[in-house]
Structure 1
Amino acid sequence: MNKLLIVTAALLLPLVGQSQTGGLPGFEVGKAASLSGVERVTQVLVPPPAVPVHSQVNAGKPRIVQVRLVIEEKEIELAPGAYVWAFTFNGSVPGPLIVAHEGDYIELTLVNPETSQLPHNIDFHAATGAMGGGALTMVAPGQEVVLRWKATKPGVFVYHCAPGGVMVPWHVVHGMNGAVMILPRDGLKDANGTAIRYDRAYYIGEQDYYLPQEADGKYKRYASPALSLNDDLQVMRGLIPTHVAFGGKVGALTGNNAMKASVGETVLFIHSQANRPSYPHLIGGHADYLWERGKFNDPPLRGQESWSIAAGSAGAFVYTFKQPGMYAYLSHNLIEATMLGAISHILVDGKWDNDLMQQIKPATAIK
């Protein structure tokens, strides 16, 4: 195993498996959770771009939302001839979206099977304290841990593996990230307090990859994650990705894999980027309501053409489709969209509205 990997793992392993019934080691527990009688529900997580079944409004009391994430280290072909060892939550890049409401508790069981080669953990940007939970969730191969945290801030947030040092970006750019959506208990609202409802929702995780190449330009392939580490770090230092994928693989959400909608439907899109900025744009549409930094306490922007997703954050927007056809949702760094893979499709069915757009004369030879 690579020396750097051994040293990093050695620094982390004292944390692995520590028994924690309270807070962080070395600190007195000053406030205990009072959860007697709180309802428990198990959320069925689904692979992106699908979103778990959920209520947009929850006027009842806060609940404990139980979720289970199983780590899987596996080789994937992210583009023809381009292989990478993906570090995944529940087998997908990005990991599944978790949905709860403000005031709920997220109770996570994080499982690292014996088949894994590396220790892992999870940092929730939506959580408070202990490195977002990263300090209390380190699990070696063959271990599992349970962490509960309270959703105090509504919005969409990134989660990712954060084992420490250079291992943090290495795990993140190998796919180990996802998102959490914490809805206000009374649902989404515009700047005037009017309710915003959506008919369906999609979660798009944007993933940047840094694949080493041979002298002839072919991408290298490795028998294990550790064998790629030094080469990966060399490419990562250049800060220029070889691939930028919407949905984990190049073309994962295009063509026959396009997301679906219908004219008249209002769709919520959640977009996360755990490592670098992104510049989304919906060709032929707009963000009717946009939470650019993903925080639902902020009034949404209106009618945006393109926007930014900050590195290590998630955003959300709502759009009501008015015309049928194939829409492209992409990064408006058009080099990344057309050459590196930062593009997805939405196939919308329904009737065309000539009042919004009409071709008056088809293309013909100039007279």
Structure 2
Amino acid sequence: MYKYDVWTFNDSVPGPFIRARVGDIIELNLTNRDETGNPHNIDCHAFEGPGGGAALTTADLNQTKTARFRLLYPGLFVYHCAAAPVPVHIANGMYGLIYVQPEYDTLSSVDKEFYIMQSEFYHEPPEKLENGKLSDKVKFSYPRALDETANVVVFNGKESALSRDAPLKASTGDRIRIYFGNAGPNLISSFHIIGGIFEKLYRDGDVVSPPGRFVQTTIVPPGGATIVDMKMLVPGTYTILDHAIFRLDKCLVGYLNVSGKARPDIYASIEPPAPCVGCKLHP
């Protein structure tokens, strides 16, 4: 894979996971340290008011903007940069999630929580260097983004964020919760975990309505989010993916490694398991 200069909130893609409660007032300080001279801001889907706060927070290089927002509604919401051109700022990595708890939290307690965002990158072919070799770095492609032909689709901002670099980990008996968002900027996600069932599904980040029960796959549009709860019963590796499954070959895969004692009462065979050699889905 190639190197790519991402744009970030707080030096990470996605930006920080923010947790607050209905009725809280958030004081947001945004300092722009982008030496390219691009202005930046925050459009938070949890903020009520024009632009989701974008006009109040637009900052030029070395400028700090401060704004305050009262949180009126509970749920899981996307935030992103909305400086022009908006889709370019999102495509380059400026997004994150905020969870606004209801006044009285409606979610049951869990053993572990995880934060995942899906997004796409669009880039030009690598440039040819003076030595005749191709550069190992690529640049953003507006035409490819406009055509919605992603080069790479990833979890948490890079190819191996949830696979080789940092797979998720749990133990049998754990109840886990995943806060999942789709930054897009273009593609709908069919979020799925192979071998797992979403015991509870808070569709569209709605934590007030009764959750869906025992769901296999959930649709999350660009700019949308969802919360899923699972109970891990059987040890092994569970594959995290978008069930638009050819995206696997565009780097969209992650793993949840579950340790613990075998459960032959649930999952067993006469012959030992034989994983597919070289398979990205069943490592």
TM-score, length-scaled by structure 1: 0.69
Q: Cα distance 1:238–1:179, how it changes in 2: closer, same or farther (>3 A)? A: same
8 Å contact 2:126–2:137 — kept in the other structure?
Answer: no
Query: Which consecutive residues of structure 2, in runs of 5 or more, have no partner in the other structure?
Result: 129-133, 275-283
Q: Which runs of 4+ in 1 moved over 6 A?
A: none
Q: Cα distance 1:234–1:106, how it changes in 2: closer, same or farther (>3 A)? A: same
SS in structure 2 at match of 1:172: helix
Q: 1:124 aligns to what?
A: 44
Match of 1:92 among 4, 8, 12: 12
Match of 2:125 among 204, 213, 216: 213
8 Å contact 2:32–2:64 — kept in the other structure?
Answer: yes
Q: 1:149 aligns to what?
A: 69
SS in structure 1 at match of 2:220: coil
Q: Cα distance 1:209–1:256, how it changes in 2: closer, same or farther (>3 A)? A: closer
What amino acid maps onto 1:181 in structure 2? Answer: Y
TM-score, length-scaled by structure 2: 0.89
The answer to whether the aligner puts 1:347 opposite 2:267 as a matched pair is no
Give the superposition deviation at 1:234.
Answer: 1.2
Q: Cα distance 1:363–1:354, how it changes in 2: closer, same or farther (>3 A)? A: closer
Rounded to whole Å, the distance in 2 between the matches of 1:100 and 1:176 is 20
The answer to whether the aligner puts 1:183 opposite 2:94 as a matched pair is no
Identity %: 32
Q: 2:198 aligns to what?
A: 287
The answer to whether the aligner puts 1:253 opposite 2:173 as a matched pair is no
Of the structure 1 ranges 111-120 and 83-92, higher mean CA displacement relative to structure 2 is found in: 111-120
The answer to whether the aligner puts 1:264 opposite 2:173 as a matched pair is yes
Match of 1:236 among 141, 145, 149: 145
Q: 2:92 aligns to what?
A: 174
Match of 1:310 among 199, 221, 229: 221
Q: 1:201 aligns to what?
A: 113
Q: Cα distance 1:360–1:83, how it changes in 2: closer, same or farther (>3 A)? A: same
Query: Which consecutive residues of structure 1, in runs of 5 or more, have no partner in the other structure?
Result: 1-79, 190-195, 223-227
Deviations 1:121-146 (A, max 9, x none): 01000110020000110000111111
Match of 2:233 among 322, 345, 353: 322
What amino acid maps onto 2:157 in structure 1? Answer: G
Rounded to whole Å, the distance in 1 between the matches of 2:127 and 2:36 is 31
SS in structure 1 at match of 2:4: strand
Whichever of the two has the greater Rg, that structure is: 1
Residue correspondence of structure 1 range 27-106 to structure 2 within 5 A: 80=1, 82-106=2-26
SS in structure 2 at match of 1:87: coil
What amino acid maps onto 2:255 in structure 1? Answer: H
8 Å contact 1:211–1:220 — kept in the other structure?
Answer: no
Rounded to whole Å, the distance in 2 between the matches of 1:326 and 1:339 is 19
Rounded to whole Å, the distance in 1 between the matches of 2:201 and 2:31 is 35
Give the superposed CA RMSD. 2.0
The answer to whether the aligner puts 1:136 opposite 2:45 as a matched pair is no
The size of the alignment, in residue pairs, is: 267
What amino acid maps onto 2:237 in structure 1? Answer: M
Rounded to whole Å, the distance in 2 between the matches of 1:342 and 1:349 is 23
8 Å contact 2:40–2:81 — kept in the other structure?
Answer: yes
What amino acid maps onto 1:349 in structure 2? Answer: S
